[in-house]
Amino acid sequence: MKRVKIIKEDLKTIFEALAQRYRTIGPKLVHGTVVMAESSFEDIPAGYEDRQGPGSYRLEKKETEEIFSFSPGADSFKKYLCPSSVTSFSFQKSAKGFVVDVPEREGMPLAFIGSRACDLAALSLLDQVFLDGPVRDQGYEGRRKSIFIVSVNCNHPSENCFCDAMGTGPYAKEGFDLCITEIRNWLLVEAGSVEGEKVLEILPHREIDAGDLDEKRIVIARCREMIKKSMKTEDLPGVIYRNLEHPRWTEIAGKDLECGNCTMVCPTCFCNSSYDVLSLRTVSSNLRDFSGVRRRTWDSCFSKNFARVHGGNFRPSRRARYRHWMTHKLAYWIEQFGSPGCVGCGRCITWCPVGIDITHELEELRRVR
C-alpha cells in the first residue's frame, strides 16, 4: 500500500476531501476534555496535552507545533457505531394486532479522524460481537459498513495507557483507511485500503525513503518507552478463574460506587437493554390503539437489576457485579471471542470517580493471602 509524506497543513485537505462524501468525526475540545464530534481541521485541539491519573483528567495548552499532542478522551467508536440510544423499530398497535416499521438508515456515512490503535482493536472486537453471532445486528452493520478511518499513531500516551501490554498499540497495524504518524514538522501517511489510496492521490505529497520509515520506528519506540502502565497477560484467563473467591473482590466492592462509568467509556463494553417506549398521550388515552418505539440503550452489568429474573437476581451483590465485569473483560472474553475484551486504553481508570485501576486489581488478585 502507498505511503507518502505530507506537510501538516495538508491534513486540512484530507478533512475537506472526506467532507465531500462523509460526515467527518474528529477530536474536538468540549468543556475541557477531548471528545469525538462532528468537526473540521480547525477543531483539533492541537497543542493541548492531557494529564491523566486514576480518576483524573486535565488538559493543558503547551507551546508546541504538534497537532496530535493529546491522547483520546472518553469517547470511542461505539459512540457512533452503537450509539447510547437507538430506535430499533416503531410499532402501531391496534385491536387486530400490531404493525412494525423499521426506520430507514439515512444520512452520510461517517469518517473518523484521529482514532488510535487501541480504538481500532476495540472496533474489531465490537465487530465480532455484533456481526459474527447467530443474528447479525443490522443497525450496527448499517452504520459500520461504509465508514472511513484515519487513524493516528500515538506520540503522547497517557499515564493510564497500557496498549503495549495488551498487544493493541501504540501504533495501528490494520483496520484503517489512512494512518498518520506525526514526525516533527511533517506527517507520514500510509494507506490501508483502496479508498485510502484514492484520498492520498489528491494530496500534494512526496514519496518516502528508508530514512523516513526509520523515523517512524523511532517515534513508536519513544512512545513505547513513555508507556508506564502494564498488565501481565500470560496467565489469563486462569489467574482470574483460580481467584474467583479472592478476598480482594470484597475490598474493591467497598470502594466501588457502581456508577457504571467504566462500562460507558470502555470501547468494548457492548451491553444494552431494549424496552418499549410509549408517548404519554398514548398511555393516557385509548389503550387498544397506540403506537410506540422499541428503544435500545446502553446498559451496564453494574446495574442492580442487570441479571434479574422473576424470582431472584443472579448477581445481587456489588462484589459479584464488579467481579463479573472484570472477569468478563479479562477471562470470559478470551473464551467467547479468542482475545481479552480489554485493549489497554486506560479509560476505565481515568473516568472512574474513585480511581479503581484494573491493572492494579489484577496484580492484587495474584497476591496469595
Partner 1 sequence: MYDRSIPFGATIKWMKKETRDTWTYALRINDREIKKSYCFQPGQFNMLSLPGIGEAAISISSHAADHDLLHTLKVAGDVTTAISKMRAGDVIGVRGPFGRGWPMEEADNKNVIIIAGGVGIAPLRSVMRHLAARHRDRSGKVMIYYGAKTPKDIVYRDEFPRYRDMFSVFLAVDKADPEEYWKGEVGLVTRLLAKTSFDPLGTTVFICGPEVMMRATISDLLIRGVPGEKIYLSMERHMNCGMGICGHCFFGPKFVCKDGPVFRYADIADFLGLREV
| Site of interaction with partner 1 (CB under 8 A) | 88-89, 91, 93, 96-98, 100, 102, 129-130, 133-135, 137-138, 241, 244, 270-276, 278, 282, 290, 292, 299, 301, 306-311, 314-317, 319-320, 323-324, 327-328, 331-332, 335-336
Residue 14, amino acid: I
- Shortest distance, position 177 Cβ to partner 1, whole Å: 26
The minimum distance between CB 243 and partner 1, in angstroms, equals 12
Whole-angstrom distance, CA of residue 223 vs CA of residue 226 = 5
Least separation in angstroms between CB 362 and partner 1: 17
Closest distance of CB 103 from partner 1, Å: 11
Kindly tell me which of 232 and 308 has the beta carbon lying closer to partner 1: 308
Query: Whole-number minimum distance, CB 315 to partner 1, in Å?
Result: 5
User: In the complex with partner 1, which residue's Cβ is closer, 324 or 360?
Assistant: 324
Q: Identify which of residues 56 and 272 has a Cβ nearer to partner 1 in the complex.
A: 272
Residue pair 266/118 in contact (Cβ under 8 Å)? The answer is no
Place of cell 477471562: 331
Residue 335 C-alpha from the chain's centroid? 21
Considering the complex, state which of residue 186 and residue 332 has its C-beta at the smaller distance from partner 1.
332
Q: Tell me if residue 335 falls in helix, strand or coil.
A: helix
Which of 132, 141, 175, 41 is closest to 338 using CA atoms? 132
- Nearer to partner 1 by Cβ, of 32 and 103: the residue is 103
* Nearest distance in Å: CB 122, partner 1: 16
The two beta strands, 186-191 and 178-183, are: antiparallel
- What one-letter code names the amino acid at 345? C
The DSSP letter of residue 43 is G
Dist. CA 4–CA 181, nearest whole Å: 11
Q: Centre a 10 Å sphere on the Cβ of residue 62 and count the other Cβ atoms it contains.
A: 13
The amino acid sitting at 244 is L
Nearer to partner 1 (CB atom), residue 32 or residue 238? 238
- Name the residue with cell 494530496: 203
Least distance to partner 1, CB of residue 169, Å: 25
Output 282 or 359, the one with its CB closest to partner 1. Answer: 282
Cell numbers for 7: 506537510
Least distance CB 78 / partner 1 (angstroms)? 13
Residue 312 Rama label (left phi>0; alpha psi -120 to 50; beta): left
Output helix, strand, coil percentages for the chain, rounded to the nearest 5: 35, 25, 40
Give whichever of 122 and 179 is closer to partner 1, judged by the CB atom. 122
CB 364, min distance to partner 1, A: 20
Would you say 254 or 311 has its CB closer to partner 1? 311
Range 174-196 burial, b when 16+ CB lie within 10 A, else e: ebbbbbbbbbeebbbbbbbbeeb
